[in-house]
Amino acid sequence: MAKLSELRIQQLKKELENCGWNTIGNKMELKARLREVMESQGIDVDEYVFNPDGDEITTKIEGKNETSQTVTSTDLNMILPAISAQTSTVTSMSSQMSSQMEEQKTHIAEMSSEITSKIEAQETRMSEMSTQITSKMETELEEQKTYMASQLEEQKTYMTSQLAKQLKAQEARISSQLEAQEIRVTSKLEAQDTKILQFEEKIEAEMDALRGRIEQLQLNRPAVSTSNPKVKTPSFDGSVPFQVFKLQFEKTAAVNNWNAEDKVAALFVALKGPAAEILQTIPEGERSNYGALMAAVERRYGSEHRKQIFQIELQNRHQRANETLQEVALDVERLAHLANADAPVEYTERVKIQSFINGIRDLETKLHTRTQS
* φ/ψ of residue 294, rounded to 5: -65, -35
Residues 151-196 pLDDT 10s: 988 888 898 888 888 878 887 887 778 777 778 767 776 776 677 6
With a cut of 70, list the residues of the chain below it in pLDDT. 52-84, 86-87, 90, 185, 189, 192-193, 196-197, 199-229, 302-306, 341-342
Could you tell me the CA-to-CA distances from 244 to 23, 238, 299, 301, 319 in Å, in that order? 149, 11, 15, 11, 33
Q: State residue 21's pLDDT score.
A: 85
With 0-12 / 13-18 / 19 or more C-beta atoms within 10 angstroms meaning exposed / middle / buried, residue 120 is exposed
Q: State residue 192's pLDDT score.
A: 66
CA dist 74 and 17 (Å) reads: 16
Cβ proximity of 30 and 18 under 8 Å: no
CA dist 239 and 225 (Å) reads: 28
The amino acid at residue 11 is Q
Q: State residue 79's pLDDT score.
A: 61
Q: State residue 250's pLDDT score.
A: 93
CA dist 225 and 263 (Å) reads: 10
Q: State residue 330's pLDDT score.
A: 92
Q: Which stretches of 15-62 are assigned E, i.e. beta strand?
A: none
Q: State residue 253's pLDDT score.
A: 94
Q: What pTM was computed for the model?
A: 0.28
Cβ proximity of 50 and 57 under 8 Å: yes
CA dist 225 and 220 (Å) reads: 15
DSSP letter at 121 equals H
3-state secondary structure of 257: coil
CA dist 82 and 92 (Å) reads: 15
